[in-house]
Amino acid sequence: MPAPVVAIIGAGQAGFQAAASLRDTGFAGRVVLIGDEPVLPYQRPPLSKSYLAGQSGPDDLWLRPAEFYAKQQIDLVYGDAVAAIDRGQRRLRLTSGIEFSWDHLVLATGAGCRPLAVPGAELDGVLALRTLADADALRQRLNEAREVVVVGAGFIGLEFAAVALASGAIVHIVEVTRQPMGRVVSEPVSRFFTNAHIGWGAEVALGTGVVRILGAGGRVNGVETNDGRRLPADLVLICIGVIPNAELARGAGLAVDDGIVVDEYLVTSDPAISAIGDCANFPTSFAPVRVRLESVQNAVDQGRCVADRLAGRPAPYGKVPWFWSDQGDLKLQIAGITIGHDTSVLRGDPAERNFSVFCFRGRQLVGVESVNRTADHVVARRLLAGDPQLSPELAADESYDLRSHARRLPGR
């Protein structure tokens, strides 16, 4: 019987990790890793941070050097996309015409930037940020830009805004909701970062939508908002969230609902197909609803989980989610999923730019957001790995030693 073939579609952080971990686990079959970008697998987080700021170069981005893939016997195919999946025959076809057969398929297809459906979105100088090519284009434009409009105040938008402000550009941030990063962080942290950006010189318009993007000669020169203002701009970044890349899965008849639907083992509605990373919609004990998380942690840990299963050691996925964002001199670290919390308490002092917000559902700690306060973040990750047994009152009491509390809990 020939050795089994695992084909992994998507060579981002999740796909890369699944391939590397298959080899770490001693998987003896063939591993094919297919990426549609024309470069080696790389890290995305620096694209909106140090890489964009010119503090790191492409050689700092590669997850591993080219030789790694040969040495690990990972068949890396890049710059070629998957055109179709044939579940019946267990084959897949690339746009170049190459075909592969597989015994297990891992979908690590990631997500793409949500387009802004307004007139003018196609103008030169209106950019998005997801890929290395996007970052290269943006970095070049930023060098020449004087006035920048950032549409969407999520992580990417605010990280970009911080870099643009530091580069000396005039920056307008336009956000349709009243709460920047509101999908991910609590109100106090959102407000703190809004004020930080204002302090760095950004003009922030909340509760404001974009009606159209203005231009002349095919080139952007401004943004018109729904309160009738015209913001001048020679560079516009659209960063209003992502859409999971689920077209292949949908085309193959798999269940899709805000991402590719998987069970607690990260298996899709076809037991021969898994989905991991940004594209996977999975059940979790960390939230009252199914979630789809866009983070390095989620990509890496789900890649490992699938590799372990394929190597014969199945276990449900249950890692503590964590995230980070660098904006100016502020480091935001999040443990757990704070969405849907009903109580929050503060530890530390926002005025000192050193604090954490502990978020609770009822009396249960569900997540902690820390600003320049790594020690709290570390404790939070330990606490959330089981029952935290931490009340809001103790969380808010700075004289209470959280580290000792975490150490007293079983298994941590």
Site residues (vs another protein, CB under 8 A): 43, 45-46, 59-60, 62-65, 67-68, 71, 296-297, 300, 304, 322, 324, 326, 333, 374-375, 377-378, 381-382
Closest distance between another protein and the C-beta of residue 374, in Å? 4
Closest distance between another protein and the C-beta of residue 403, in Å? 8
User: Which residue, 167 or 297, is less far from another protein as judged by CB?
Assistant: 297
Distance, C-alpha 32 to centroid of its chain: 24
User: Which residue, 13 or 208, is less far from another protein as judged by CB?
Assistant: 13
Closest distance between another protein and the C-beta of residue 49, in Å? 8
* DSSP-assigned letter for residue 116: P
User: Which residue, 245 or 333, is less far from another protein as judged by CB?
Assistant: 333
Which stretches within 36-103 are classed as H helix? 66-71
- Do 125 and 148 contact (CB within 8 A), yes or no? no
Closest distance between another protein and the C-beta of residue 304, in Å? 7
CA distance 308 to 26: 10
Closest distance between another protein and the C-beta of residue 132, in Å? 14
Closest distance between another protein and the C-beta of residue 65, in Å? 6
User: Which residue, 67 or 342, is less far from another protein as judged by CB?
Assistant: 67
φ, ψ of residue 286 in degrees (nearest 5)? -85, 0
User: Which residue, 10 or 46, is less far from another protein as judged by CB?
Assistant: 46
- Both tokens of 132, joined, read 């290395």
User: Which residue, 46 or 244, is less far from another protein as judged by CB?
Assistant: 46
CA distance 146 to 132: 23
User: Which residue, 325 or 338, is less far from another protein as judged by CB?
Assistant: 325
- Amino acid 7 reads A
CA distance 12 to 15: 5
Give the pairing type, strands 354-361 and 343-349: antiparallel
CA distance 349 to 112: 37
Residue 304 neighbours by CB distance under 10 Å: 21
Closest distance between another protein and the C-beta of residue 309, in Å? 16
**Which residue, among 127, 119, 120, has the nearest Cα to 144 in the 3D structure?**
127
